[in-house]
Structure 1
Amino acid sequence: MLLELNLTTAGMLRPCLTSWWLAECWPQVFNKLIRRYKYLEKGFEEEIKKLLLFLKGFTESERNKLAMLAGILLANGNISASILNSLYNENLVKEGVSAAFAVKLFKSWIHEKDINSVAGSLRKVGMDNRLMELFPANKRSCEYFSKYFTDEGLKELADFARNQQSIGARKELQKELQELMSRGEPHKDIIAYVREEMKKTNISEQTMIGIIWTSVMSCVEWNKKEELVTEQAIKHLKQYSPLLKAFTSQGLSEITLMLKIQEYCYDNIHFMKAFQKIVVLLYKADVLSEEAILKWYTEAHVAKGKSVFLEQMKKFVEWLKNAEEESESDEEETD
């Protein structure tokens, strides 16, 4: 059957690309054959990969139709997004063939499915962070990519690529932060580095405090015993409280940090009983304000471990409220 299809050369597939009508019909033919003869699936995908390496052997019209065909096959799950590896061929990229082919392919793919389906397939094969490689090195920027694909009517893809680049930058920043902390770099140097990165990448303080929290909690090996990990956490966070304080100048940043602490303690079972002590420590270190804690308690908390953590915080919150009332009463007497 594979010999009858004879997909091993670009020339034999040319008759299949003589019209858009055939490009619509052939995916159905391939789909039925592969479903019936499962052993064809791997071979078919490999032949498509080889075919894409020789795109320069096709006319522009034929390349466009092949791109549409590939997009439909990808949408139907007949082939995986790993075929895009062939488009990173240096010669195809340099001459602009890869980018032009990708435009037609993604248009067809998104038309059949949607951007979420495309994104999922790309992530599955680790291609979600490689889309910039469709362009030569001197044009490999988020701005150029965004303009190129937006102008071609693929703003959804441009937005996806921009988001992926942002995620990648955050991961690199977190990795660098962990290395700085592991080397014991002074807090003032880390703070200066983070502020510079915030300017360069346009990361908000709310996003940054989440990255810093994750980095702080990832740069140490935690004790597996619940009764010991709380003491270890308090000692560790006391050391890094100046760093956390530097990036909680806004109320939203404080709430973000509270939520990160809540999620971390919930996701790491040994920290379940440490939540209240961590919050109190950061309150005393002027990282978290009374207002932020009360807002988290009354309305800003998330569902993860809600009942456990609210119960832990009950007495401290009551103390905060009483202290606030006493403060207001003293002010009235002074007036």
Structure 2
Amino acid sequence: MSNQKIQKPTLTGQRFKTRKRDEKKVFDPTQFQETIVQGLNQTGSDLDAVAKFLDASGAKLDYRRYAETLFDILVAGGMLAPGGTLSDDLTRTEFCLFTAQEDLETMQAYAQVFNKLIRRYKYLEKGFEEEIKKLLLFLKGFTESERNKLAMLTGILLANGNISASILNSLYNENLVKEGVSAAFAVKLFKSWIHEKDINSVAGSLRKVGMDNRLLELFPANKRSCEHFSKYFTDAGLKELSDFARNQQAIGSRKELQKDLQEQMERGDPFKDIIASAREEMKKNNISEQTMIGIVWTSVMSYVEWNKKEELVTEQAIKHLKQYSPLLKAFTSQGASEILLLVKMQEYCYDNIHFMNSFQKIVVLLYKADVLSEEAILKWYTEAHVAKGRSVFLEQMKKFVEWLKNAEEGEHGLHLTLVR
């Protein structure tokens, strides 16, 4: 028997009809633009009519495919070429954001149009963010008035959570920063954002995307200082943004200082060197002793791996803090610094549950080491404590506080053993 396979008969001259779902639609933004422009020209400047037209057109037109074209038309009147110029040979509309009146009320009305459209067609959300990022990169191609309107609109959209603050990354483009376009745009943007909500809304959104420490980058490297930023935005009527940036800068400096302190401790640098270095930073960055003692306490407690057993952690903490008490003492020359240290200790022992029973022993240790005074401990006990674990810690301190109140001077050393 032959092993050759018998070929199956084939049909010749037969044409198969392509299934509709397999047919590829031709990408034709020009036709899409003509349809949208015609509709906008008919609705005119009535933004309610525009919103209704866009809502109805979404059922007939492929918004998903032509999202970029749609947003280009609504913002600039037609499709934008790279750099931000309009294509001359295509139909354009005069009814768009760039030809609207330059005031906040009009921009709020336009924001509502975009808001309604994206609420209706949720899939446009990502495309809209991409459009705003692109428009920000095209800023140099727009007129000053067009930039102002886009800035106000963007601020309103950010305030209402319609877009993420991550779009502001586009403003850090080197050319935009160098020519001062980014800073000028940011003034209008933040003004409308704060007008719509407040500085807390700005702060929260920037923190969420890790941009709260990048505001100074709106300026070229030679002008990237807190002083320049503060003057520029304060003069523009945005003192709250200046204060926020200054505060963020201070937080950044404190984090760096804490990191440096921990590295010095890990290296085993002499305390006199650590203290001298910390005092220099205090002077340079205008850091108060109260702020400094908080940083020192956090640094001292952060670089140790604590025992997870409650009965062992107290002994470990006492030994560790006894070693570092000269460092704490160097930054508690004022009563307010001692109070702040006590509050930090209270919060730390509450937040780290293994330390809940260690608080009183740590206070006694630091009292004996002359880090904490009798007056500061009594003030903390009566009025300066915070809510965290208050009842537990006040109960722990009860006997020691009674002793402080009643013991005669000179008897302290004798009685300390009774309260340990």
Structure with greater helix share of residues:
1
Q: Which residue is equivalent to 2:339? A: 255
Alignment of 1:68-147 (within 5 A): 68-147=152-231
1:48 partnered with 2:129 = no
Query: Match of 1:249, SS?
Result: coil
Asked if the contact 1:17–1:23 (Cα under 8 Å) also holds between the matched residues in 2, the reply is no
1:233 partnered with 2:317 = yes
RMSD of aligned alpha carbons: 1.6
Q: Which residue is equivalent to 1:19? A: 100
Choose which of 272, 290, 299 in structure 1 pairs with 2:374.
290
CA deviation after TM superposition for structure 1 residue 204, in Å: 0.5
Q: Which residue is equivalent to 1:162? A: 246
Choose which of 144, 148, 151 in structure 2 pairs with 1:67.
151
CA deviation after TM superposition for structure 1 residue 50, in Å: 1.1
Residues 6 and 312 (structure 1 numbering): CA distance in 2 closer, same or farther, change over 3 Å?
A: closer
Cα displacement string for residues 4-44 of structure 1 (whole angstroms, at most 9, x for unaligned residues):
61437343898421123753332111101111111111111
Aligned residues: 327
Query: Match of 1:73, SS?
Result: helix
Q: Which amino acid aligns with 2:350?
A: Y
CA deviation after TM superposition for structure 1 residue 87, in Å: 0.3
Q: Which runs of 4+ in 1 moved over 6 A?
A: none
Q: TM-score under structure 1 normalisation?
A: 0.94
Choose which of 205, 215, 223 in structure 1 pairs with 2:299.
215
* Unmatched tracts of structure 2, length 5 or more: 1-62, 73-78, 87-91, 412-420
Asked if the contact 1:16–1:22 (Cα under 8 Å) also holds between the matched residues in 2, the reply is no
Query: Match of 2:407, SS?
Result: helix
* Unmatched tracts of structure 1, length 5 or more: 328-335
CA deviation after TM superposition for structure 1 residue 124, in Å: 0.7
Q: Which amino acid aligns with 1:5?
A: L
23-32 or 251-260: bigger deviation = 23-32
CA deviation after TM superposition for structure 1 residue 318, in Å: 1.4
Distance 1:208 1:66 in 2: 44
Asked if the contact 1:266–1:305 (Cα under 8 Å) also holds between the matched residues in 2, the reply is yes
Distance 1:235 1:38 in 2: 60
Asked if the contact 1:27–1:72 (Cα under 8 Å) also holds between the matched residues in 2, the reply is yes
Identity of aligned residues (%): 84
Distance 2:403 2:241 in 1: 51
1:196 partnered with 2:277 = no
Q: Which amino acid aligns with 1:313?
A: M
Asked if the contact 2:187–2:236 (Cα under 8 Å) also holds between the matched residues in 1, the reply is yes
Q: Which amino acid aligns with 1:200?
A: K
Q: Which has the larger Rg? A: 2
Distance 1:221 1:248 in 2: 25
Cα displacement string for residues 125-157 of structure 1 (whole angstroms, at most 9, x for unaligned residues):
111110000000000000000000000000111
Query: Match of 1:302, SS?
Result: coil
Q: TM-score under structure 2 normalisation?
A: 0.75
